[in-house]
Amino acid sequence: MKLHLLLLSLVTSLAAAQTPSYPDAAASDPMALGLMQGFPPAADKTVRFIDGSSLRFPNTRWSFSHIRELVPTAQVARGNGSVSKLPRALKDLDAVSYADMDGKPRTWKEMLALTYTDGVVVMHKGKIVYEKNMGALASDGSHIAMSVTKSFVGTLASMLVHEGKLDAAAPVIKYLPELKDTAYGDATVRQVMDMTIGVRYSENYADPKAEIWAYAAAVGMAPIGLDYKGPRTAYDFLVALQKEGEHDVAFAYKTVNTEVLGWILRRVSGKNLATLLSEKIWQKIGAEQDAYFAVDSIGTEMGGGGLNANLRDFARVGEMMRLGGKFNGQQIVPKAVVSDIEQGADKAKFAKAGYKLLANWSYRNMWWVSDYGAYSARGIHGQAIYVDPKSHMVIARFASHPIAANAAQDPVALPAYRAVAAYLNK
Amino acid sequence: MKLHLLLLSLVTSLAAAQTPSYPDAAASDPMALGLMQGFPPAADKTVRFIDGSSLRFPNTRWSFSHIRELVPTAQVARGNGSVSKLPRALKDLDAVSYADMDGKPRTWKEMLALTYTDGVVVMHKGKIVYEKNMGALASDGSHIAMSVTKSFVGTLASMLVHEGKLDAAAPVIKYLPELKDTAYGDATVRQVMDMTIGVRYSENYADPKAEIWAYAAAVGMAPIGLDYKGPRTAYDFLVALQKEGEHDVAFAYKTVNTEVLGWILRRVSGKNLATLLSEKIWQKIGAEQDAYFAVDSIGTEMGGGGLNANLRDFARVGEMMRLGGKFNGQQIVPKAVVSDIEQGADKAKFAKAGYKLLANWSYRNMWWVSDYGAYSARGIHGQAIYVDPKSHMVIARFASHPIAANAAQDPVALPAYRAVAAYLNK
């Protein structure tokens, strides 16, 4: 199949999924469906990357927990240190009730199903109070984090700024002269870090002409043929991006900004993202598992969405952020970097992006920052590291919601997080 | 590029490499060549899977240490146990001298270069006496083991036989009725385990019509296009194999036998090879790193050659075998399984295969067994786990020799192993 036909079929199936006709969490449970069970699995239960089936719901309910079996990846090594202990004091949160943004009464347990949760860990005051794995996610497995990845890239960038190795005020082309004639030719690193870049790039998954599809092919997230002529690496894609509008005027969420930031980090550090993340965070938190990045055809990590990790390790990262960057007996992320994220960015610029469900939020160093003290790394199918220092709470969640938009789940998920926080602190 | 053209170009370049004109180890050092250095690497220093470049020497000197960045893989988890200590008592073996099989005087150090060694660990009486990493292999990295993989599959099979879960005397079709009309329709499990199967399958890498190339495409080791119509999984390939000659007459080294054995193991255990290897060996030896298998388009591990591992972890496996299956405080492989391998198989059947450099050897449970007490897992570009209980010695080696045949390196490598054994024990 030609690439454009393949992408069209993906978009069509995705558009179809965006009607309310998709099966619910129980009906799309990958184990109950028998996806990829047996040796070999039945033909109609087989999920592959090359035919696009791994990108289609409900197959995503299996594939999001099996990315390394589908595409090439780069190891984010945990090293050989001890696994950090996560004390447990389990509570039954299933019945915690709240009203969703539409005013409907809901429970925590209901929310998990409505948002197609694959796994969730809630920590309160340093202890795991709730942990549940569903679908195809094993407790020692990994799940794709999608745009949660961006918050790691943003944090690493902030750390290098803090260390004086990267100048946030500098023009991007100080580090990447290759981008001189692109949208980034007159942008600063800070504008990239906070995504206030004017660049022609649409992330509308429902539009087959949106650049997200060409990007997906370039970075190895969509299958290509041997005769494919388009860009084959993140780099090739980035050097063709053109300006649209002005920088520094409004928040505009575009994955390519994170790819540019990842490139800057590699150029500045001389290391790839997998190594940087391993050295600066993964080896220090006492992770249980190596993490990994999906990579393009030349091993370039997809910094905008390609990180895969174990859920408890994401809880560790959230806990580390909650504690001002200190965890597992050491200061891992500088306190100033955490504080900078907590304080958020310009709310007026954020408001221009029109996120009605996130009124008064902002986006700082690639974290989503609320106006009530919590902030979050967020992935498009419901993945999240949600840090709420005031409530002494961290939530790490993986999900495989059929709709590629947080707007589909924020109305039930965000109030649930706040309800659980209130419950835990009452 | 069409698949057959691509394969032809691979074969042609391989054939070219088989003349004595290829650069030596120093000249083909991937770091010195600048392969895959920088962000992005220069176009002429870029190694990819999809264009076949990762399979061509000297690119293989980089790619063999970076397989997971090139193809999908399945995790062989080390679990969260402690890393087992490997005591060190380093000795300078570089000057150990010996005569190669052609009578030429050589040194250990010379051998390492002549065989394009990427890393080597020598253990004597339980201690690392020599360790060296070269080329693109980091000491905490992994390297493709190629046919060393087979010895793991053979060992796992022997363990299941020992546990009474698998009957070596049973017909293959007791477990895999799918193979009724294939070469395996009248074969026994034991014949598969010792590779005395009569099957039409050529492993002659220099012949573009050899089945090895169709197999490579099917199991995901050679790139295919979106329009590829051939078998896409190991299973699809195996069910088409036809008989040639008789079973149980002669040893005939054919990778597909290991794929059949791997399929039997999955069917009998209900687990994939990655899980089996993790549970039965990797979690128990105190491995430093997860290992991983290259997988086909549906996640099937390439049991015939797809294992990638850390070199010191292979040394641990060798040491475990040397000690009769006991290592890291526990009996991991039953002693009877190790003894069965040590005793080898029918030398007369082995002799019929015509391995002139391995006179009086045999092949048992997918290990190569010498007539002087040592036995070895062997991979086609020089990978090895060489176990010499009489000499209290284990050698683990990774290499990326340009010639896909052990005959290209056995004449210098095997006498070097024996010379080092003699040196260490004098």
User: B163 or B18: which carries more pLDDT confidence?
Assistant: B163
Task: Give pLDDT, residue A20.
Answer: 55
Task: Give pLDDT, residue A10.
Answer: 53
Which CATH number does B123-425 carry? 3.40.710.10
CB contact under 8 A, B263 and A140: no
Q: How far is B224 from chain A (nearest CA, A)?
A: 7
Nearest chain A residue (CA) to B286: A80
Query: For residue A267, which residues of chain B lie inside 8 Å, CB to CB?
Result: 39
DSSP A343-369: T---HHHHHTT--GGGTT-EEETTEEE
Q: How far is A224 from chain B (nearest CA, A)?
A: 7
3-state secondary structure chain B: CCHHHHHHHHHHHHHHHCCCCCCCCCCCCHHHHCCCCCCCCCHHHCCCCCCCHHHCCCCHHHHCCCHHHCCCEEEECCCCCCCCCCCECCCCCCCCEEECCCCCEEEHHHHHHHCCEEEEEEEECCEEEEEEECCCCCCCCCEECCCHHHHHHHHHHHHHHHCCCCCCCCEHHHHCHHHCCCHHHHCEHHHHHCCCCCECCCCCCCCCCCHHHHHHHHCCCCCCCCCCCCCCCHHHHHCCCCECCCCCCCCCCCHHHHHHHHHHHHHHHCCCHHHHHHHHHHCCCCCCCCEEEEECCCCCECCCCCEEECHHHHHHHHHHHHCCCEECCEECCCHHHHHHHHHCCCHHHHHCCCCHHHCCCEEECCEEECCCCCEEEECCCCCEEEEEHHHCEEEEEEECCCCCCHHHCHHHHHHHHHHHHHHHHC
pLDDT-wise least confident of A272-276, B92-96, B229-233, B327-331: B229-233
3-state class of A28 per DSSP? Answer: coil
Mean predicted confidence (pLDDT) in A32-49 = 96
Query: For residue B267, which residues of chain A lie inside 8 Å, CB to CB?
Result: 39
Task: Give pLDDT, residue A12.
Answer: 47
Mean predicted confidence (pLDDT) in A348-368 = 97
Nearest chain B residue (CA) to A51: B226
Query: For residue A231, which residues of chain B lie inside 8 Å, CB to CB?
Result: none
Among candidates A40, A292, A299 on the partner chain, residue whose Cβ is nearest the Cβ of B36: A299
Global pTM reads: 0.95
Active site residue A158: no
CB contact under 8 A, B71 and A66: no
In our burial notation (b when 16+ CB lie closer than 10 A, e otherwise), range B187-210 reads bbbbbbbbbbbbbebebebeebeb
- Between chain A and chain B, the number of residue pairs with CB atoms below 8 A apart is 110
Query: For residue B50, which residues of chain A lie inside 8 Å, CB to CB?
Result: 224, 226, 232, 297
Nearest chain A residue (CA) to B238: A40
Query: For residue A2, which residues of chain B lie inside 8 Å, CB to CB?
Result: 226
Nearest chain A residue (CA) to B67: A72
Q: Is a pLDDT exceeding 80 seen at residue A247? A: yes
Catalytic pick from B28, B63, B142, B147?
Answer: B147
User: Tokens 């019945």 correspond to what residue?
Assistant: A95
CB contact under 8 A, B225 and A223: no
pLDDT-wise least confident of A172-181, B10-19, B72-81, B103-112: B10-19
Q: What is residue A244's DSSP assignment?
A: -
Question: From the candidates A139, A226, A279, which should be mutated to test the interface with B, based on the most B CB atoms within 10 A?
Answer: A226
pLDDT-wise least confident of B167-176, B203-212, B379-388: B203-212
Among candidates B1, B70, B298 on the partner chain, residue whose Cβ is nearest the Cβ of A40: B298
Query: For residue B266, which residues of chain A lie inside 8 Å, CB to CB?
Result: 39
Q: Is a pLDDT exceeding 80 seen at residue A3? A: no
CB contact under 8 A, A41 and B298: yes
Nearest chain B residue (CA) to A265: B39
Among candidates A71, A77, A297 on the partner chain, residue whose Cβ is nearest the Cβ of B48: A297
User: Given pLDDT bands bounded at 50, 70 and 90, which one contains residue B5?
Assistant: very low
Q: How far is B101 from chain A (nearest CA, A)?
A: 41
Query: For residue B46, which residues of chain A lie inside 8 Å, CB to CB?
Result: 298
Task: Give pLDDT, residue A406.
Answer: 87
Query: For residue A263, which residues of chain B lie inside 8 Å, CB to CB?
Result: 39
Mean predicted confidence (pLDDT) in A359-386 = 97
- In chain A, what are the domain boundaries? 3-71, 121-425
Question: From the candidates A298, A301, A316, which should be mutated to test the interface with B, based on the most B CB atoms within 10 A?
Answer: A298
CB contact under 8 A, A225 and B227: yes
Q: How far is A223 from chain B (nearest CA, A)?
A: 8
Q: How far is B352 from chain A (nearest CA, A)?
A: 34
Task: Give pLDDT, residue B387.
Answer: 98
Are residues B383 and B143 in contact, defined by beta-carbon separation less than 8 angstroms? Answer: yes
CB contact under 8 A, B299 and A36: yes
Task: Give pLDDT, residue B20.
Answer: 55
Which CATH number does A121-425 carry? 3.40.710.10
Nearest chain A residue (CA) to B288: A80
Reported as a single tens digit per residue, the pLDDT across A253-303 is 999 999 999 999 999 999 999 999 999 999 999 999 999 999 999 999 999
Beta bridge partner(s), residue B308: B144, B292
Reported as a single tens digit per residue, the pLDDT across A375-413 is 999 999 999 999 999 999 999 999 999 998 888 999 999
Q: Percentage of chain A with pLDDT > 90?
A: 88
ipTM: 0.93
Catalytic pick from A84, A147, A370, A391?
Answer: A147
CB contact under 8 A, B300 and A40: yes
Reported as a single tens digit per residue, the pLDDT across A172-209 is 999 999 999 999 999 999 999 999 999 999 988 778 88
